[in-house]
Structure 1
Amino acid sequence: MVPSSDGTMPSHFNPLGIDLLSRNLREEMDRRPRVSLEKIKRFPGAGLYALYYKGDLAIYQELKGSDCPIYVGKAAAGNSSYGDSPNLAEPKLFDRITDHRRSINETDNLNASDFDVRYLTLDDIWIVLGERALLRTHRPVLWNTVMTGFGANPPGGERRNARSVWDSIHPGRHRATKLLCNRSYSRAEMSKLISDGIEISLTPTSPQRDQQLSELRNRPAKLIW
């Protein structure tokens, strides 16, 4: 390895390093076109997806017109628990996106026409790494971290869970009709949490941004009941 002009040794380059692979996946995802969630057509395969808000709710207006996703997710082709070969002809990613479209349309104040979706089909080996890259780049991704509950599985049986922040802000989903009210935040506190999360996500990367994110994550929440 040849020293640089100032006598220091250059950093070691690893073409398969995690950081470089993550950047490649994120940049490829960002190059994919955004299409209307309402009009997305069936396609085969698994991979990554991101939802972008373009509706008129005042609480999300800072996100409207930006390229900052409101939610990112993944769908794998196979079951890693068994090591079975995946069936790449199955529309695993499309089905996952369709589940979200149905969930959004059940609410009282959202519609699939309020969203664009961007997706990237991938082999399973790259999916988890790609999702992590998207979450790190756009953090805090609002519906993944600040407004939890959107992508969660429905509670089983007769469980009486507290309603998530997401279902509190967007009531109407069938799965949430029997849930109790949120135990940690008042409506005003939820709105403040959301606005602060959006502001941080739209701030350029810097040590100050990292500090703001740390403070947001560590913001105490007291049980209301």
Structure 2
Amino acid sequence: MALAPDRLAIKQLEDALSAVLALGGNNPPAQVVRRIRDGLATHAAAVEAARAATDPIQMPMVSFDPADPKAIGRMVSIALLAQPLVRLGSVQPAYGSGVYAIYYRGDHPLYAGITRTETPIYVGKADPANDDASTVREQGAKLTGRLLEHAGTIATAATYSPQLPDYLSPLKLDDFLCRRLVCATNAQLVAEKHLIRTFWPIWNAETKACWGMSKHGDAATTRANKRSPWDVVHPGRAWALDERLVDSLTPAEIQERINATLQKVPAKRDHAALLEELLEGFRQEGPPLTEPEVPPVGENVVGPELNEAGGVDDV
């Protein structure tokens, strides 16, 4: 006996799902697993939309949960963008841990696509001194400490400017601004991830374009390995000038990756429009927004390596 059209359609859907699950059950490559998960997530939203369309009682596509990590990440990110811009070189020590964003306002040719925009060149977090800190004093002066560390790194590269070869351009600490937000302990974890997935900042390791700025220093076990892209185009740190090091990328390759990143994720140029974009994540009329996990340059592009000089990038 033939199935009714609706039952036949559901049966076909079940068969297709079984086929997908079978493909994921034989230890497939990571790329296949990622494609399966992304595909299932997309179709899960479509199935829920179809289910809602057949329900005579309307329901929101998304229910707001302030405890949801993604919601926390969005809320903290919006709060960060509400903070004033200050010169990175003028940051003074203050208590608190949290998240921050660094912006570029100069004329370096590598960063022509983001200069004087709302897209940060780097975002990061500063974890509290104590994992269970409940006050900003208990958190310690971690947030400003991290910003001062970055300011020192940029200043070191700026000091080296007179020795730069002709094909490299100098950095100036005065060309950098920042926003910072002190937040409750652990909120910085999800906020940093959301900020990275929103902007794909050029200097963040996850973007795989010009990583290395947040490395802390020399390690005896990595002195004969690779020099990070950041140290390739912004030399000055003594441990990264070691002649035994090999450049991980050439300046031209770094430029190509920056261009590829900005082509897929153009710089945000309007503050109000950026806030509106972030607020879309809280709207209940449409399907939930998903955060991209793969960097704009592609999943298979080689990024930071564990044996690079200076150790791993700070996270």
Q: TM-score range by the shorter chain?
A: 0.7 to 0.9
Instruction: Name 1:216's counterpart in structure 2.
Output: 298
Secondary structure class of the residue paired with 2:216: coil
Q: Which residue number in structure 2 is paired with residue 93 of structure 1?
A: 143
Tell me which amino acid in the other structure corresponds to 1:195. Answer: N
Q: What is the DSSP-based 3-state SS (H/G/I as helix, E as strand, rest coil) of the residue aligned with 2:186? A: helix
Moved more, 164-173 or 187-196: 187-196
Match in the other structure for 1:168 = 232
In structure 1, list runs of 5 or more residues that go unmatched.
none
Deviates more, 1:46-55 or 1:158-167: 158-167
User: What is the CA distance between 1:18 and its match in structure 2?
Assistant: 2.6
Aligned to 1:106: 156
State the partner residue of 2:199. Answer: 138
Q: Tell me the equivalent position of 2:183.
A: 122
From 231, 241, 245, give the equivalent of 1:177: 241
CA RMSD of aligned residues (A): 3.0
Cα shift at 1:182: 1.2
Give the secondary-structure state (helix, strand or coil) at the position aligned to 1:216: coil
Higher mean C-alpha displacement, 67-76 vs 12-21: 12-21
What amino acid maps onto 1:100 in structure 2?
Answer: H
Instruction: Name the CA distance, whole Å, in 1 between partners of 2:298 and 2:216.
Output: 25
Q: Structure 1 203/112 Cα, relative in aligned 2: closer, same or farther at 3 Å?
A: closer
**Contact in 1 for aligned 2:117/2:267 (Cα 8 Å):** no
Give the whole-Å Cα distance in 2 for the aligned partners of 1:41 and 1:134.
24
The 8 Å contact of residues 37 and 116 in structure 1, kept in 2 or not, is answered as: yes
Alignment match, 1:148: 211
How has the CA–CA distance of structure 1 residues 159 and 137 changed in structure 2, closer, same or farther, with 3 Å as cutoff? closer
1: CA distance, partners of 2:299 / 2:154 = 26
Q: How many residue pairs were aligned? A: 212
* Letter aligned with residue 182 of structure 1: D
Deviation at 1:211, TM superposition (A): 11
Q: How far does residue 158 in structure 1 lie from its aligned partner after superposition?
A: 5.8
CA contact (8 A) 2:257 2:297 kept: no
- Candidates 246, 250, 260, aligned match of 1:196: 260
Distance 1:192 1:111 in 2: 23
CA deviations on 1:118-137 (whole Å, 9 max, x unpaired) are: 00001222010111111111
Question: 1:173, 1:96 → 2: CA distance?
Answer: 17
Instruction: Give the one of 106, 115, 122 matched to 1:64.
Output: 115
Q: 1:155 to 1:86 in 2, by over 3 A?
A: farther
State the secondary structure of the residue aligned to 2:179: strand
1:11-26 equivalent positions in 2, closer than 5 A: 11=61, 13-16=63-66, 17-26=68-77
The amino acid that maps onto 2:77 is R
Query: 2:219 is paired with a residue of what secondary structure?
Result: coil
Letter in 2 for 1:180: L
Question: What aligned pairs does 1:3-14 form with structure 2 within 5 A after superposition?
Answer: 7=56, 8-11=58-61, 13-14=63-64
Equivalent pairs: percent with the same residue?
28
Letter in 2 for 1:131: E
State the alpha-carbon separation in 2 of the partners of residues 125 and 193 from structure 1: 32
1:46 to 89, 97, 100: 97
